[in-house]
Structure 1
Amino acid sequence: MDIATRVYNHKWKIDPIIRSLIDTDFYKLLMCQSVFRNKPQTEVTFSLINRSTSVPLAHLIDEGELREQLDHIRSLSLSRGESTWLRGNTFYGKRQMFRPDFMEWFENLRLPAYHLERVGDQYELTFEGKWHEVMLWEISALAVLMELRSRAVLNDMGRFELQVLYARAMTRVWEKIEQLRDIDGLSIADFGTRRRHGFLWQDWCVQAMREGLGSKFTGTSNCLIAMRREVEAIGTNAHELPMVYSALAADDAALARAPYDVLSDWHEEHDGNLRIILPDTYGTQGFLDHAPDWLAGWTGIRIDSGDPAAWAEVAIKWWQERGEDPLQKRVIFSDGLDVDKIAELHGKFAGRTKVSFGWGTLLTNDFRGLVPDDGLAPFSLVCKAISANGKPTVKLSDNPEKAMGPADEIARYKRVFGIGEQDHIDVIV
């Protein structure tokens, strides 16, 4: 595939950014089914949040083109082949992962309306409606904005300049793969959909990882690429679930229980490698200290904020104190990873627990230093649930730089979950 020529031809609008409703992360579909079953009447608002305010999205991206891409997404529905893949494929060793009632609903889904408004140099983009419907906007909205920003920067480049740019970027990815190839026992997946340079580039990166790493490459979070390239679809759950469940809590006691209520519902639906704890929404230490005993029996933990090595040590100690063997558990690292950090963490924890990596932005969007003014450097863009049934959501994280929500509610959540001083860590992506 000649990516440079395809990118050059974007001027003739050959490629829509989102090609399918399953051009999304696998965990979104798993969570969507859970929400469809457990919270079908919950009304949720999602909102775009650009943490990197130095990147003026509304200055870079034409509003008409953005609306065109968002309107195209609203026209999409599952194809027969996509439905067959979801209904009949084996995921995590389980056939019929998606129940017939959920699939019947999904096959008839069109994404609900959006609200877009320019506010200064940024866009206000929100989605309101039933939780299981609007949640599927998140990954698509992020991917559209990231790729439109890429297209804006590349727009004035000629064919040869684009060919050289992509040759350099490909070389960078391949050199990373060659470094990873030397790590014995590596287990790594692509988690780069939400902040990718573009769909074609993520697809290329997945193919390069598969060829360069062989069995060390375990799959991709992107369902469309997984289907087309016949690799495993990877993913479990995300902060969205405890954030919304917590917003729905009637009082402080219910709020303290909410993160465990989420996993109780998940426990009823999934087993094996889908039983992965994401403990940092309101602080990892407090979550583990108050966790019910049955959670210690889950398969593993994903570490997504704070100092990854420190929290892996906490997880190992927690398993040992609960009478579990850390060698039989899995720690998944997924925050701000690049090759050196992957090698460091693998070297520190391999042999003490099962170690896996979900490699995101710096796999699928590392164009740092390749254009003038570093105009293609990755930046931190998120789309989060900000309210549920009219009540604000809150995320605390193990890194206060990732905290979100109204100040008074953040203070309340810190009190309920016993959060004291936290180390501030720069958010890379």
Structure 2
Amino acid sequence: MVDIATRVYNHKWKIDPIVRSLIDTDFYKLLMCQSVFRNHPDTVVTFRLINRSTHVPLADLVDEGELREQLDHIRTLSLSRGESTFLRGNTFYGKRQMFRPEFMEWFENLRLPPYHLERRGDQYELTFEGPWPEVMLWEIPALAVLMELRSRAVLNSMGRFELQVLYARAMTRVWEKLAPLRDLAGLKLADFGTRRRHSFLWQDWCVQALMEAMGDKFIGTSNCLIAMRREVEAIGTNAHELPMVYAALADTDEELAEAPYKVLADWHEEHEGNLRVILPDTFGTESFLAHAPGWLAGWTGIRVDSGDPAKGAEIAIDWWKSHGEDPREKLIIFSDGLDAGKIEELHKQFSGRVKVSFGWGTLLTNDFRGLVPGDALAPFSLVCKAAAANGRPTVKLSDNPNKAMGPAEEIKRYRRVFGVGAQEALDVIV
């Protein structure tokens, strides 16, 4: 096992680039990329970094030269032969050749497009603009770089033994979180922690800890590279990015209202089984389900990713019942800001009523809260979102208005078109 503390102590030797592979990304980015490559290859999209935790002065913590060096390194990456073989020949979600030959040929020749970076006060403005299939693959590595550079900046002044103690305490914390979860019958748990991880080595350690502690309760990781190296399942379906861009491309209010369902119609043509999971909260879950076509009720499940998770699950259960579906045969994936206590609570509340699975993210792979002075390693909410498509702004409403994004007038229009009323504002931790 890698001695993480020693590697961190020596990181100035440039042993480890932060992102070392184009598949050091979430699996759902690759699934979505193939769909976008087929359906919208020429759409020009802009992605933008958004630091929701404005109290964290990224530009003061992260050296601009080092940030550029890491981003420039990512632009040199291409698929290795082994990575290409893994994607071409492996079985994902029970399906061989998940990735089509024409997509793989394109991906094998891909180098990520240029970025734009400048400092604005104590924050960075970081954007990526270009053909949608290319720029969308910047999202995860850009976030991983910024999160790890922030970690390195905090750890830079710590000595070898201080680092050993820090990581020993962090490892103990993870192990203690897993202890009560080991006894939950039927638990299904996946690592979703790539985008806001403490570091690549730490995420890899967390996956190994889950493998040993949880046995078959651990069903895989969202990180494609770690899945390949550790020989576990790559986990992921789709994200808010798809309906946000499809909606921005709509010319009328009527087309806007249909955009979220057009996304899933395209997805339906390509995937089946456990990849047919609805993410309904982009423009409000209740509105989405109230107007959803009947065929979506036959899909495998729903992912709950914002708002009160228990409320979201109850809404999904009622919707399935109203369409004559047996909720006990359906899957609910919880994935918003989870930690061990919430996982245990939700599992006990819904196990037996539905099939339940959990995507555990930032508070698995980046929980160093209280472990350094000033809580300088506490996780924070950093995202990189599609901000425009063909020059039109994107919007996300969410089930939590504190996660909404987009111009105020467009948010107002979307709320009208999708019939979104009052929403409960919840704190955004990660």
- TM-score class normalised by the smaller sequence: over 0.9
User: 1:369 deviation in Å?
Assistant: 0.1
| 2:338 is the counterpart of 1:342 | no
User: 1:177 deviation in Å?
Assistant: 1.0
Name structure 1 gaps, 5 residues minimum: none
Query: Which segment is superposed worse, 177-186 or 403-412?
Result: 177-186
Which residue type is aligned with residue 394 of structure 1? V
CA distance, structure 1, for counterparts of residue 77 and residue 218 of structure 2:
30
CA distance, structure 1, for counterparts of residue 15 and residue 62 of structure 2:
18
User: 1:13 deviation in Å?
Assistant: 1.4
Q: Deviations over 1:228-276 (max 9, x none)?
A: 0000000000000000000000100000000000000000000000000
Q: Deviations over 1:260-299 (max 9, x none)?
A: 0000000000000000000000000010000001000000
- The alignment's TM-score, normalised by the length of structure 2, stands at 1.00
**What is the DSSP-based 3-state SS (H/G/I as helix, E as strand, rest coil) of the residue aligned with 2:405?**
coil
CA distance, structure 2, for counterparts of residue 293 and residue 11 of structure 1:
56
Name structure 2 gaps, 5 residues minimum: none
User: 1:409 deviation in Å?
Assistant: 0.2
Counterpart for residue 305 of structure 2? 304
Counterpart for residue 361 of structure 2? 360
Which residue type is aligned with residue 146 of structure 2? L
User: 1:373 deviation in Å?
Assistant: 0.2
Counterpart for residue 198 of structure 2? 197
User: 1:5 deviation in Å?
Assistant: 0.2
CA distance, structure 1, for counterparts of residue 392 and residue 250 of structure 2:
10
CA distance, structure 1, for counterparts of residue 68 and residue 282 of structure 2:
32
Which residue type is aligned with residue 192 of structure 2? F
Q: Deviations over 1:38-76 (max 9, x none)?
A: 001100000000000000000000000000000000000
Which residue type is aligned with residue 149 of structure 1? R
CA distance, structure 2, for counterparts of residue 267 and residue 62 of structure 1:
44
Counterpart for residue 106 of structure 1? 107
CA distance, structure 1, for counterparts of residue 24 and residue 312 of structure 2:
32
Which residue type is aligned with residue 409 of structure 2? D
Counterpart for residue 4 of structure 1? 5
CA distance, structure 2, for counterparts of residue 335 and residue 316 of structure 1:
18
User: 1:12 deviation in Å?
Assistant: 1.3
Instruction: Give the aligned length.
Output: 429
Counterpart for residue 211 of structure 1? 212
CA distance, structure 2, for counterparts of residue 246 and residue 91 of structure 1:
29
CA distance, structure 1, for counterparts of residue 10 and residue 82 of structure 2:
28
Counterpart for residue 119 of structure 1? 120
CA distance, structure 2, for counterparts of residue 427 and residue 117 of structure 1:
26
Counterpart for residue 380 of structure 1? 381
CA distance, structure 2, for counterparts of residue 179 and residue 173 of structure 1:
11
- Within 5 Å, which residues of 2 pair with 1:111-260? 111-260=112-261
**What is the DSSP-based 3-state SS (H/G/I as helix, E as strand, rest coil) of the residue aligned with 2:396?**
coil
CA distance, structure 2, for counterparts of residue 54 and residue 320 of structure 1:
44
**What is the DSSP-based 3-state SS (H/G/I as helix, E as strand, rest coil) of the residue aligned with 1:136?**
helix
CA distance, structure 2, for counterparts of residue 350 and residue 184 of structure 1:
9
Which residue type is aligned with residue 223 of structure 1? C
**What is the DSSP-based 3-state SS (H/G/I as helix, E as strand, rest coil) of the residue aligned with 1:135?**
helix
Q: Deviations over 1:96-148 (max 9, x none)?
A: 00000000000000000000000000000000000000000000000000000
**What is the DSSP-based 3-state SS (H/G/I as helix, E as strand, rest coil) of the residue aligned with 2:251?**
coil
CA distance, structure 2, for counterparts of residue 135 and residue 3 of structure 1:
30
Q: Deviations over 1:341-398 (max 9, x none)?
A: 0011000000000000000000000000000000000000000000000000000000
CA distance, structure 2, for counterparts of residue 352 and residue 108 of structure 1:
46
- Within 5 Å, which residues of 2 pair with 1:265-414? 265-414=266-415
The ranges of structure 1 where at least 4 consecutive aligned residues each deviate by more than 4 angstroms after the TM superposition are: none
Counterpart for residue 424 of structure 2? 423
CA distance, structure 2, for counterparts of residue 248 and residue 406 of structure 1:
16
User: 1:227 deviation in Å?
Assistant: 0.1
| 2:40 is the counterpart of 1:39 | yes
CA distance, structure 2, for counterparts of residue 420 and residue 219 of structure 1:
37
Which residue type is aligned with residue 17 of structure 2? P
CA distance, structure 2, for counterparts of residue 274 and residue 136 of structure 1:
20
Counterpart for residue 56 of structure 2? 55
User: 1:179 deviation in Å?
Assistant: 1.5
**What is the DSSP-based 3-state SS (H/G/I as helix, E as strand, rest coil) of the residue aligned with 1:294?**
helix
CA distance, structure 2, for counterparts of residue 144 and residue 337 of structure 1:
22
Q: Deviations over 1:205-239 (max 9, x none)?
A: 00000000000000000000000000000000000
Q: Deviations over 1:154-175 (max 9, x none)?
A: 0000100000000000000001
Alignment RMSD, CA only? 0.3
CA distance, structure 2, for counterparts of residue 157 and residue 113 of structure 1:
34
